[in-house]
Chain A
Amino acid sequence: MILSIRVFMIFLLLMVHSFAIFVIASSLAGERFRWRRYLLFNLVYLVIEWLQIGLSLLVPGLAQFGDDPLWMKVMDAFLIIVLVCVIFSRMYHVAIDKAFAIASLGHFLTYTIIDFLTEAAYFYSPVFDGGYLFVVTTLFVPYILTLAVIGGIAYALRKTEFSKYFSYLFQGRVRTAVTLVICFALIFMKIILDFIFSGATVDFAYGLLCFSLIIIVLFCIQFGAMYAASADKVRAQEETIAQQQAHMELLEELQGEIRAFRHDFTNLISGMALSAQEGDLDAIQEFMQRTSGYFDEKLGNEIKQMEGLTNIEAYPLRSLLSTKLGVMRQKRIHVALEIMNPVTRVKMPTEDLLRCQGILLDNAIEAAAKEEGKIRIVLLQDHGELYIAIANNYDEQPDLGALGKGNYTTKGKGHGTGLSSYRRIVSRCSDCMMRTYLKDGFFVQELRIPVC
Chain B
Amino acid sequence: MIPVYICDDEPKISALLEKLIGEQIMMMERDMGPLQVVDNPLALLELQKKGTVPAIYFLDIDFPGYMNGLELAVKLREYDPRGFIVFITAHNDMMFETFRYRLEALDYIVKGDAPAMAQRVNACLESICERLLHEPDGKAAYCSLKLFDSVRHIPLQNILYFEAIGSRHTLVLHMDDEVLEFNSSLNHFEEKLGEAFWRCHRSFLVNWSRISNVMLKENLVEMDNGERCLLSRKAKAEYSSKMSENKTL
Contacts and interface: CB of A to CB of B under 8 A. Distances in A.
30 contacts: A90-B167, A296-B92, A300-B93, A336-B97, A338-B96, A338-B97, A340-B95, A340-B98, A378-B101, A382-B70, A383-B149, A384-B148, A384-B149, A389-B102, A401-B225, A401-B227, A404-B174, A404-B179, A426-B181, A427-B165, A427-B170, A433-B182, A435-B178, A435-B179, A435-B180, A436-B179, A436-B180, A437-B175, A437-B177, A448-B148
Contacts of A338: 95-98
Given A434-B181, A437-B177, A383 B74 contact: yes
Interface of A: 90, 93, 296, 300, 304, 336, 338, 340, 376-378, 380, 382-385, 387, 389, 391, 400-401, 403-404, 423, 426-428, 430-439, 444, 446, 448, 450
Contacts of B168: 93, 427-428, 430
B179 A380 contact: no
A109 B128 CA distance: 68
Interface string B60-97: 00000000001000100000000000000000110111
A349 B182 CA distance: 18
B172 interface: yes
Contacts of B225: 401
A389 B96 CA distance: 13
Chain B: number of interface residues, binned into ranges = 20 to 34
Interface string B115-153: 000000000000000000000000000000001110000
B108 to A, nearest CB: 13
B194 interface: no
A448 B95 contact: no
Contacts of B178: 400, 435-438
Contacts of A446: 101
Contacts, number: 93
Interface in B176-224: 177-183
The SS class assigned to the B binding surface is mixed
A427 to B, nearest CB: 4
Interface in B17-64: none
Nearest to A433: B182
A251 B86 CA distance: 35
B101 A444 contact: yes
B177 A430 contact: no
Contacts of B182: 432-434
Contacts of B172: 404
Q: Which of B74, B149, B180 has the most CB of A within 10 A?
A: B180
Given A378-B98, A427-B166, A401 B181 contact: no
Interface of B: 70, 74, 92-93, 95-98, 101-102, 147-149, 160, 163, 165-168, 170, 172, 174-175, 177-183, 225-227
Nearest to A424: B166
A434 B149 CA distance: 15
A336 B97 CA distance: 8
Given A378-B97, A389-B101, A433-B148, A400 B179 contact: yes
Contacts of B174: 400-401, 404
Contacts of B96: 338
B195 to A, nearest CB: 25
Contacts of A90: 167
A191 B137 CA distance: 73
Given A90-B167, A426-B181, A437-B178, 14 more contacts: A296-B92, A338-B95, A378-B98, A389-B97, A400-B177, A400-B178, A401-B226, A423-B165, A427-B170, A434-B180, A434-B181, A434-B182, A435-B181, A438-B178
Contacts of A387: 101-102
Nearest to B101: A389
Contact of B183 (A336, A380, A404, A431): A431
A444 B102 CA distance: 12
Contacts of B97: 336, 338, 376-378, 389, 391
Nearest to B150: A383
Contacts of A340: 70, 95, 98
Contacts of B160: 401
A-B interface, 8 closest residue pairs, ranked by CB to CB distance from nearest: A437-B178, A389-B101, A401-B227, A436-B179, A438-B177, A433-B182, A427-B170, A338-B95
